[in-house]
Amino acid sequence: MPLLPVFDLIVAARPGGLGAFNVIALEHAEAIAAAAEATKQAAVLQISENTVRYHGGLRPLARACLEIAGASRAALAVHLDHATSEELIREAVRLGITSVMFDGSTLDYAENLARTARIAQWCHERGVHVEAELGEVGGKDGAHAPGVRTDPDEAVAFVAATGVDALAVAVGSSHAMHSRDARLDDDLIARLATKLTVPLVLHGSSGVPDAGLRSAVRAGMAKVNIATRLNVALAEAVRATLAGDPALSDPRRYLGPGRDAVQAEVEHFLRLLAEPRTG
């Protein structure tokens, strides 16, 4: 199926949420595509700047994700996640990625706004969807530092000044959580969804329990990013497989179960996020 714009996938998912999943290795991308096909749900394959750094460049993994997404029977998009480098964003667009996130959350408000607006204008001239993150004013820890919350009026002003297409907001989640006990502020989500004209994006969703994700989507969260849960599932499956056969050395024999575990996790989240639409 041809790659679809992220915004179109968000609209099609409503009133459910669109699942967006981070790719670190080829097995992640294959698992996400297979899960989307199995559940008949749309999904986003995301490549973060940290992953680009791990691989020593964007091109190989980006091309693989674009090929996997384009060959899939599911509705998929490829997205550059948490990019702080404008050059990386330009490279992603040149490679054919049509959705990017500029993360200026650690910048002060004025610089975040100015750089986001400049990037959004450049991307829009090329038909690229832009997600941004509104960080704590004057803060260094970003929008997902513990206790930080996005101010609705400030968010409205930020979106109007930058022209972004989606906004990652701080409503109680945190990145890289292994426990699932984060409590989201659904009232704040609802206020943000009412005031803003662009979709809301939840980062750090792995730390939110299923009931919290379901409630957040019903309150107005449109795109839900998940990474850590996939990595935990892969690591547990690989660890168990290797423990069961200490002589095992063929990566296909242990990465295969890891890929299957990631697929199962993605299927779970895709069905969960679709519940507000199908339930």
Q: Which of 248, 158, 263, 223 is nearest to 6 (CA)?
A: 223
Whether pLDDT at 18 is above 90: yes
Distances (CA, A) of 2 to 27, 73, 91: 21, 9, 21
β strands within 17-152, DSSP E: 18-22, 43-48, 76-83, 99-102, 129-133
pLDDT, position 185: 85
Neighbours of 54 (CB within 10 A): 12
Whether pLDDT at 178 is above 60: no
Q: In angstroms, what is the C-alpha Rg of the chain? A: 18
Tokens of 80: 């550059």
Tokens of 169: 């907001």
The values of phi and psi at residue 167, to 5°, are -135, 125
Residues annotated as part of the active site: 81
Q: Which of 68-72, 151-155, 247-251 has the lowest mean pLDDT?
A: 151-155
Whether pLDDT at 23 is above 60: yes
**Lookup result for tokens 């779970």:** 268
Contact between 216 and 208 (Cβ < 8 Å):
yes
Start-to-end Cα distance in the chain: 27
Contact between 58 and 47 (Cβ < 8 Å):
yes
**Lookup result for tokens 């660890």:** 239
- pLDDT confidence band for 141 (50 / 70 / 90): low
Check: pTM over 0.85? Answer yes or no: yes
Contact between 184 and 211 (Cβ < 8 Å):
no
**Torsion 101-121-89-109 (CA) sign:** negative
Contact between 75 and 42 (Cβ < 8 Å):
yes
Alpha helical stretches, state H, 96-227:
109-124, 152-162, 186-195, 210-219
pLDDT, position 144: 60
Q: Which of 271, 163, 157 is nearest to 224 (CA)?
A: 271
- pLDDT confidence band for 276 (50 / 70 / 90): low
Contact between 49 and 82 (Cβ < 8 Å):
yes
Contact between 130 and 124 (Cβ < 8 Å):
yes
- 86-139 per-position pLDDT tens digit: 999 999 999 999 999 999 988 888 999 999 999 999 999 999 999 998 865 334
- 26-47 per-position pLDDT tens digit: 999 999 999 999 999 999 999 9
Angstrom distance (rounded) from CA 95 to CA 16: 30
Average pLDDT, the chain: 90
Tokens of 206: 């792995």
133 three-class SS: strand
